[in-house]
């Protein structure tokens, strides 16, 4: 460091370099003061900037990977059909089933990425209205009617406090629908989902597979899944809880998670 300072003084040139210490990153700029044997030192803490850039890079590489794998499957099946490798009607039907499934998955990944991007839009530009969590939850539950029936789930919804929240309608929708979707997806046959609407927001519990303690701190990360194969099989994208977390942060809410493997999971938004 003193060598660099000496260099600046001797040659009257500006020096700039990056310095790391104790997990933080600094940009240091040394500027000579004209005709004096002194140097101005600017120190900028750029740790946040670096972290943000890293996150963006990770996101792009994960997103590309996530989109590439279903596309590879689709192209593989199409090629097999084109080259006449699949000739049996049942094999071709099976290929179409898989192609459709993978295409749907790509579609969900892209829509959820767009949802995430729209959450980054300035909060002030959004239309905020008084919304009922109870009504929104009922609408969402009716859109999952088929899955609920298929899994023979018992759904209990308790409107403890009657109140409205000031939110952008789509934000509220995404927040609740991702949690409801998981409570259904990761539940077991004949399981239960209980939703209690109580101030300041709500609690949702399920009797599903649960989340191992060691994974609990990571599940809100983009594209993170406890069991990747299972999530894929169920049409998951790994972005649902990242969207939930984003909405929660945007509205200064909090989200608590309680879960036990093979017993169930509770998310409390407040
Ligand atoms: P996905 O699209 O895979 O469901 P999410 O971001 O919504 O992605 O959730 C991340 C991961 O957290 C899931 O893949 C799953 O492993 C776990 N998870 C989330 N909610 C539940 C739940 N209610 N019960 C069990 N596991 C859950």
Give CA–CA dist 129/81, Å, rounded. 51
Cβ contacts of 119 within 8 Å, gap of 6 or more: 171, 174, 243, 246, 247, 250
Ligand 1 neighbours (beta carbon < 6 A): 178, 182-183, 186, 206, 208-211, 219, 224-227, 231, 236-242, 265
Whole-number CA gyration radius for the chain: 26
Question: What element of type H or E holds 41?
Answer: strand 39-45
Residue 68 is inside which H or E element, if any?
A: helix 47-82
User: What pLDDT does 122 receive?
Assistant: 77
| Calpha distance 241→209 (Å, rounded) | 16
The 8-class DSSP code of residue 226 comes to S
CA 177 to ligand 1 centroid distance, Å: 13
Count other Cβ atoms within 10 Å, centred on residue 177: 20
Q: Give distance in angstroms: CA of 146 to centre of ligand 1.
A: 20
User: Tokens in use for 148?
Assistant: 């609920």
Q: What spacing in Å lies between the alpha carbon of 266 and ligand 1's midpoint?
A: 12
Token output for 205: 């519990």
Three-class SS state of 23: coil
Which atom of ligand 1 is closest in space to residue 183's alpha carbon?
A: 23
Compute the distance from residue 238 Cα to the ligand 1 centre, in Å: 7
Q: Residue 247: which of 136, 135, 105, 104 has the closest Cα? A: 136
Q: Give CA–CA dist 54/48, Å, rounded.
A: 10
* Number of the ligand 1 atom closest to the C-alpha atom of 206: 23
Check whether the bond before 200 is cis (ω within 30° of 0).
yes
Phi, psi of 252 (to 5 degrees): 55, 35
Cα of 106 vs centre of ligand 1, distance in Å, is 18
Unique residue bearing structure tokens 């403890």 = 160
Tell me if 220 sits within 8 A of 242, measured CB to CB: yes
By most ligand atoms within 8 Å of CB, the mutation choice from 180, 187, 228, 231 for ligand 1 is: 231
- Token representation of residue 159: 């409107």
The one-digit pLDDT tens for each residue of the chain (270 residues) are: 888 888 888 888 899 999 999 999 999 999 988 777 888 999 999 999 999 999 889 999 999 999 999 999 999 999 999 999 999 999 999 999 999 999 999 999 999 999 998 888 777 888 999 999 999 999 999 999 999 999 999 999 999 998 999 999 999 999 999 999 999 999 999 999 999 999 999 999 999 999 999 999 999 999 999 999 999 888 899 999 999 999 999 999 999 999 999 999 999 999
Q: How far is the CA of 214 from the centre of ligand 1 (A)?
A: 14
Ligand 1 atom closest to residue 187's alpha carbon, by position in its atom list: 24
Distance (Å, whole) CA 168 – CA 127: 6
């Amino acid at each position: 460091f003193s060598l660099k300072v000496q260099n600046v003084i001797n040659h009257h040139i500006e020096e700039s370099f990056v310095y790391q210490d104790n997990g933080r990153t600094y940009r240091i700029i040394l500027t000579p003061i004209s005709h004096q044997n002194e140097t101005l030192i600017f120190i900028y803490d750029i740790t946040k900037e670096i972290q943000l850039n890293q996150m963006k890079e990770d996101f792009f590489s994960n997103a590309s990977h996530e989109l590439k794998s279903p596309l590879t499957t689709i192209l593989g099946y199409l090629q097999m059909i084109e080259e006449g490798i699949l000739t049996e009607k049942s094999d071709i039907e099976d290929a179409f089933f898989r192609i459709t499934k993978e295409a749907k998955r790509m579609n969900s990944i892209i829509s959820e990425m767009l949802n995430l991007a729209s959450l980054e839009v300035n909060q002030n530009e959004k239309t905020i209205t008084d919304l009922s969590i109870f009504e929104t939850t009922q609408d969402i539950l009716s859109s999952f009617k088929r899955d609920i029936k298929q899994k023979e789930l018992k759904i209990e919804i308790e409107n403890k406090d009657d109140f409205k929240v000031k939110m952008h309608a789509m934000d509220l929708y995404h927040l609740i629908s991702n949690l409801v979707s998981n409570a259904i997806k990761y539940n077991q046959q004949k399981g239960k989902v209980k939703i209690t609407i109580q101030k300041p927001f709500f609690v949702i519990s399920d009797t599903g597979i649960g989340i191992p303690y060691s994974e609990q701190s990571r599940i809100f990360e983009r594209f993170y899944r406890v069991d990747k194969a299972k999530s894929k099989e169920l049409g998951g994208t790994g972005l649902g809880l990242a969207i939930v977390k984003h909405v929660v942060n945007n509205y200064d809410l909090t989200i608590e998670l309680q879960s036990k493997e093979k017993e169930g999971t509770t998310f409390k938004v407040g």
